[in-house]
Structure 1
Amino acid sequence: MPAGERVQTEALLERARALAPLILEYRDQAEAERRLPKPLAAAMRDAHLFSLWLPPGLGGPGVDIETSVLVTEELSRQDGSVGWNSMIAGNTSILWAYVEPAAAAACIRGDAGTVLAGTVGGGGDASAPGGGVAAPAPGGYRLTGRWAFASGCHQADWLVANGRIIEDGAPRRTPDGGVGLFSFILPISGCTILDTWYTTGMRGTGSHHFEATDVFVPEELTFSSIDPRPYQPGHLYTTPRATPWAPNIAAVALGIARDAIDTFLEVARTKPAARNRAGLMERETIHQRVGEAEGRLRAARAFLLDTVRRVDACLAADEPVPEELAALSRCAASTATAASAEVVDWMFTAAGTTSVFASNRLDRCFRDVHMVTQHAVGGLAGFTVAGRYFLGLGMPPR
């Protein structure tokens, strides 16, 4: 990492660490309300922790992938939902690169803390969660649909949603004849957030459904979801989005796993010994398990950071990311997520009945990390993507 970027990284990490007292104060409220409390969200916005990949051409920090991973990991060590909110908004802030610069600037209005939430998944069926349909209108489209997993929607200024453009009763096609999928950026005022986020873990992420009915979206706030044209310079915006996104998602799991180890060490030091049994600190099986956990987590983290640095080197040299490296990025992300879940499971089990109470951090670590494993990009699906590539079947389409 160049010296200038190292300074930026340390400054952002210091902002993340400085939020620790506020995160501790509000983490239980976030869990109960199923969203970030307003004071915490405002502090994160002021620190620009929701827009790490907002392009520099639009006034954003535009950090490298390693910086985003490290900041996400630190916030997730403090609380998984907090790290997730920062990560997902940072991932989504990349999308401003596909909006015509004048239109993007008009939306952001000089505020580098602007939050873009929403979802980039789903198809064109307005009756199904995750889909929308758009009808052409003068100067743009009128969009109707319902979409899922809009993490951080309560603190968002804008929401992105996918859908199909229907013309003369048929979906608009891509140049190769396929059905086109498009992204639409809507003001939060034009959407309704639906109270749907009742989950096992990651409750504080506020990943509710949202819907829009006949909302006008200008042409300049619409772009192809499958093969978007970037207006901002750099291969970050031409690289398949999963290449930077997957490591950033995996960083949430890494932070949660580090919290689990740290929490268990405190439990081991303070938990009284059971009758006729040695305390946790005296058990050789516990010594071995802690050693295994440290080794497993550090090895997975090293693989992820090594891969991320290689991707960053390509981007810094203004070179495309080779397919093999893109495959390794997905593999490293899934390795980090899988290892993190395994480590959390080990610590949860080793702590005994202490970990089953909601008052102990291991309870939330257990629930949160298993939510990360289910993510379509940053979960375990990266193993399949990488495996296909190494079997000679190539990478999936963008």
Structure 2
Amino acid sequence: MPQTSAPPLLARDARRIERYAAMADTARFLHPIQQALLHRRGWLRMLAPRASGGAELPLPQAVRLEEAVAAVDGSMGWVLTLCAGAGWFAGFLPPALARDIIGGKRVCLGGSGAPTGYADLDGDGEAAGFRITGRWDYASGAPIATHFTLNAILREDGQPLLDEQGAPRIRAFLVPAELVQIVPSWASIGMRASASHSYRIDGVWVSKEHGFTISPASATADGPLYRFPFYSLAFVTLAANVAGMASHFMQLARPCIGRRRHALKNMPLLEVPEVAALLCDKELAHANARGHFYDVLDRSWALVENCTPLTADDMEALQASSLALVAASRAAVDELYPYCGLYAAHEDSAINRVWRDFHTASQHSLLLP
């Protein structure tokens, strides 16, 4: 059922986020008031199980909130999405460990999905665990993370363990922040305040309980949220962020275009039929793609809520609608930008910050056409 009963973001919260967005961009991390809002509203726990202290929001509600925050500040929307997404992994941890983590003060989970490290088997029986070594990139929200998630290649006696197909076995882990060294590395032109730095771990031992498998069959929490396929969840949450940033860009583009005149036709640019038609066309195309995206998401969520597993076709529909929304967003931003003037190229302007954020976020590998 469409989630239309209430706005996903309160107006006063949107004003707080917007008020500090430029300062956060300059400082290259979220402003303390933005951070406080993330914690006060419980947004970083919104996908964690209720049994462990999370909100366990229905996925369509969480996605709409992520889009709404990204439509105010792309960096904050991204940190919310990636860190709340890491919090979702609590539904696959041993319940006691999940309660200890999610119930912690100002908890924030960050991390990376690339398997760029190793987990060596170390110990037997009750003392069984893993010694983790490696470096992982792009941990959004790293400065406030209390825990980091990661993927690592399993090894024994220095040799990778192989699966049935002969490929290295990969396992997900959760590690407390005090065992992690953040490596300042985030120097992108956009999404500056996401502070998506690298992190490294050098031979740190963790118990076997800190390893987990991300699949509906391995969920330790009840509820449809943990039966929703991981990649489908990733597609819809990332696409919603990009869509929110594109909406913000179009909102700012209209007054930018309205202040300009066509040099050869000597008339306001918005009165040039081709320009006016282009603006309306991009706004409509984006709205249509967004409507279809939420139709597919809401239908898919209803199936999972009713204990009906998503089929390959269902998951393909989620991916296709996500990528179609990203494509409509790219077309809107890229085709309208040339009409916005040099103001849009000024680093300190709001529309330039949104443009930079959009073109950084949309580089995510899952969002390739």
Return the TM-score normalized by structure 2.
0.92
Q: Give the counterpart letter for 1:78 in structure 2.
A: V
SS for the counterpart of 1:232 is: coil
Pairwise CA distance, 1:280: 2.2
The alignment partner of 1:374 has SS state of coil
1:305 aligns with 2:294: yes
Whether contact under 8 Å (2:54, 2:102) holds in the other structure is: no
Instruction: Tell me what 1:288 maps to.
Output: 277
* Cα 1:87/1:315, change in 2 over 3 Å: same
* 1:1-398 to 2 correspondences below 5 Å: 1=1, 10=6, 13-14=9-10, 17-109=11-103, 114-122=107-115, 130-137=116-123, 138-174=127-163, 178-224=167-213, 229-271=218-260, 277-377=266-366, 379-380=367-368
Q: Is the 8 A contact 1:143 1:214 kept in 2?
A: yes
Runs of 4+ with >6 A deviation: none
Partners of 1:337 and 1:372 within 8 A in 2: no
Q: Deviations over 1:270-313 (max 9, x none)?
A: 44776862112322122101111111111110121011011110
CA distance in 2, matches of 1:76, 1:256: 6
Q: Distance in 1 between matches of 2:344 and 2:17?
A: 21
* Separation of aligned partners in 1, 2:25 and 2:153: 35
Q: What fraction of aligned residue pairs are identical, expressed as a percent?
A: 24
- 1:351 Cα deviation (Å)? 1.2
AA paired with 2:139?
A: A
Alignment length, in residue pairs?
366
CA displacement, residues 227-246 of structure 1 (integer Å, 9 cap, x when unaligned): 87110123432443011121
How many Å separate the matches in 1 of 2:195 and 2:217?
A: 28
CA–CA distance in 2 between the matches of 1:58 and 1:31?
Answer: 33
Task: State the TM-score, normalized to the length of structure 1.
Answer: 0.85
Distance in 2, Cα, partners of 1:21 & 1:234: 34
Aligned partners of 1:337 and 1:380 also within 8 Å: no
Match of 1:389 in 2: none
CA distance, structure 1, for counterparts of residue 341 and residue 177 of structure 2? 45
RMSD: 2.3
SS of 2:45 mapped into structure 1: coil
Unaligned runs of 5+ in 1: 123-129, 382-398
Structure 2 residue runs of 5 or longer lacking an equivalent are: none
1:10-55 deviations in Å (ceiling 9; x for gaps): 37522xx422333233212322232212331122111112222112
